[in-house]
Structure 1
Amino acid sequence: MAIVSKQLKKTDIEKRLTLPREFLRCFPSLAGNHVGTLKARDESGHHWAFQIYTCKRMRYSRPVLTRGWRQFVCTKKLTIGDKVEFYKEEEEEGEAVMYRVRVVRAVKILGYVLESRF
């Protein structure tokens, strides 16, 4: 089951990925810090490193992916309505926490939105 799932909006495609604040607990690398690195592997085995930080401009902190995110968006050719899902990988002794990232395409057919795993 995905620990983070978000349908992408315009800002997520053009600038950064802002996640709901309840997902902050899913990223232990931010404990006590405001900036960290989220390492994730996609379904093709490619490794991605996203800068993750907590956005404090709003009333509550929320995790935001910045550096590396736009490259991911462009490489995967993501569009508004697509969904990204993050899964936590099994931890190995002495290894940093690793995540898996998966894209779910929004496919419209005759006005209906279907999902397509990518």
Structure 2
Amino acid sequence: MVMIEKVLTNTDVTQRLGVTREMLNILPPHNREHDVPVRVLDDTGMVYEFNLSVRVEGALKPVFQFQEWRAFVNRRNIKAGDIIYFWEEASVAHRTEYRIALLRTFV
């Protein structure tokens, strides 16, 4: 299991999450034509469906789009500087699941 750490920026918190190359490597294949839904379970047991989006042309610039990502940010009262951990794991049903955990910084 590879656990990916990301320190959240102001843009990550107020708009959309910039998906790192490491995260993109474990996520389902992206599609330049449409968003790809990614089911994510957080460390409190809540399930979210983040939409993975990449640019149609040029550099991919992958992101989790605003709506469901912001619901996660708002529910957890996330601030810039907080850290998320993101990883994939096999579930009992032999499917891939994605997990996310939050580490708060008190800056």
Aligned residue for 2:72, secondary structure, equals helix
TM-score of the superposed pair, with normalisation by structure 2: 0.81
Q: Write out the 4+ residue segments of structure 1 that deviate beyond 4 Å after TM superposition.
A: none
- Counterpart of 2:80 in structure 1 is 80
- C-alpha change, 1:62 and 1:26, in structure 2 (3 Å) is farther
Structure 1 portions without partners, runs of 5+? 109-118
Alpha-carbon distance in structure 2 between the residues aligned to 1:55 and 1:21: 14
Alpha-carbon distance in structure 1 between the residues aligned to 2:40 and 2:28: 14
Matching of residues 2-17 of structure 1 within 5 Å? 2=3, 4-17=4-17
CA RMSD of aligned residues (A): 1.9
- Residues paired across the two proteins, number: 102
For residues 16-61 of structure 1, give each alpha carbon's deviation from its aligned partner in whole angstroms, at most 9, with x where no partner exists.
Answer: 001223432211242xx2320111111121111111111357x531
Over alpha carbons, which structure has the higher Rg? 1
TM-score of the superposed pair, with normalisation by structure 1: 0.75
Verify the 8 A CA contact 1:82 1:106 in the aligned structure 2. Answer: yes
Alpha-carbon distance in structure 1 between the residues aligned to 2:13 and 2:76: 11
Structure 2 portions without partners, runs of 5+? none
Q: Which has the higher contact order (CA 8 A, sep 6+)?
A: 2
Aligned residue for 2:105, secondary structure, equals strand
Q: Which amino acid aligns with 2:72?
A: F
Percent identical: 26
Verify the 8 A CA contact 1:38 1:50 in the aligned structure 2. Answer: yes
For residues 51-75 of structure 1, give each alpha carbon's deviation from its aligned partner in whole angstroms, at most 9, with x where no partner exists.
Answer: 1111357x53132001300010000
Q: Which amino acid aligns with 2:18?
A: T
Alpha-carbon distance in structure 2 between the residues aligned to 1:81 and 1:69: 16
